Structure 1
Amino acid sequence: MKLHKLFSFLIILALASCSGEQLPKPKAMLRLEYPEALRKSFKTSKYQFQQNTLALVTEGSNSSVTLDYPLMDGSIFITYKEVNKNLPELLRDAQKLSYEHVVKADNITEQPFINGSNRVYGMYYEVEGDAASQAQFYVTDSISHFITGSLYFKVKPNYDSIYPAAVYLQKDIRSIMESLEWTD
């Protein structure tokens, strides 16, 4: 008889615990917030620009620069080349580099850049999707100087996960382009 009461109690308990509709948890969005960018001047022998103070700057050979962002696990690589009757080749290489990401990218948006007062002309590429680089750019004065830049993260590209950091660093790239001046 005790077994019968115990079995009846377990069935009632099981039925009573199933009240209400069970719904799966909604997907959550990761909310990453980064501090407002504070800028300071950075200068090489060929050019200068306003850099984010969160970035750790490493100068390479031939006025090349790496801006590391430890908080976001990302870097902006800037490469300088002199124009020596090879501007069409430099432009072709920069455009080709940007479109090598088309295999993994969902979309690549081109945004021309012109700052006539500082003689800085170029193109900004915003890359959406699981591509290796989320942004690329090049700028030139069309006579002597040519710069390319790329944004890379030190993690496997997952656009949803890196999106907040990518947006933040894309703003930094635009700021670099807007503040860039040639030093000669």
Structure 2
Amino acid sequence: MRRLLFLISFSLFIGCKEDTLPKPKAFLGLSYPEKHYKELPLQRPYTFKILNNTTVVDAPDNWVTIKYPKLKATLDITYRPVNNNLTELLTEAEKLVFKHTLKAAQIIPKDFINEQKNVFGSLYEITGNAASHLQFHVTDSTKHFLKGALYFYAKPNYDSILPAVSYIKEDVLHLIESLEWKDIQP
């Protein structure tokens, strides 16, 4: 009788458990505004299109900071005239990119050549917990050199900011593709 009672109790104990089911994957519900672009509102030796909902901060020496207030990010753009120093400018730009090698999981380069607009350069996507996740430089090889770097006002956690990096990357690509040089004195 004890055995029968034990078997019934054991069967009820085992049979009453619910099956464990895996939880469905959750996705972060981020939504970004539709993109509309406008011309850079500052007088510079260059022009390009920027996102409407960004803030442009004027800086000396034809430098510009483009702020993404809702994403807590900035795109810092520096300008340098080319005076027989193109190799030095390119080396400096690439040093700044590869300075992130210690924290970067990967550095993915993409080259740009637009002979009609005389725009040549590279975009570097830096994956991992680096301080900057996008950097680029463009030049006309004779007069102008422009360099940009994306920074977030947060501790670098690549998985968390990846959607924002992807969103801003489209803007950086649009910036490079719309870039035109002007013949005003720097």
For the aligned pair, the TM-score class normalised by the smaller chain equals 0.7 to 0.9
SS in 2 for 1:71: helix
SS in 1 for 2:71: coil
Matches within 5 A, 1:64-143: 64-143=63-142
2:23 equivalent to 1:33: no
Q: What one-letter code is carried by the residue in structure 2 that aligns with 1:128? A: T
Of 43-52 and 151-160, deviating more is 43-52
SS in 2 for 1:94: helix
1:81-120: per-residue Cα shift (whole Å, max 9, x none)? 0111111000000011011111111111111101111111
Residues in 1 aligned to 2:83 and 2:29: alpha-carbon distance in whole angstroms: 47
TM-score, scaled relative to structure 2: 0.86
Residues in 2 aligned to 1:151 and 1:122: alpha-carbon distance in whole angstroms: 16
Give the length in aligned residue pairs.
172
Superposition RMSD on alpha carbons, in Å? 2.0
Residues in 2 aligned to 1:113 and 1:44: alpha-carbon distance in whole angstroms: 24
Runs of 5+ consecutive residues of structure 1 not aligned to the other structure: 1-14
Question: Aligned-pair distance for 1:26?
Answer: 5.2
Question: Aligned-pair distance for 1:27?
Answer: 5.5
Residues in 1 aligned to 2:157 and 2:26: alpha-carbon distance in whole angstroms: 16
Q: What one-letter code is carried by the residue in structure 2 that aligns with 1:151? A: L
Runs of 5+ consecutive residues of structure 2 not aligned to the other structure: 1-12
TM-score, scaled relative to structure 1: 0.87
SS in 1 for 2:116: helix
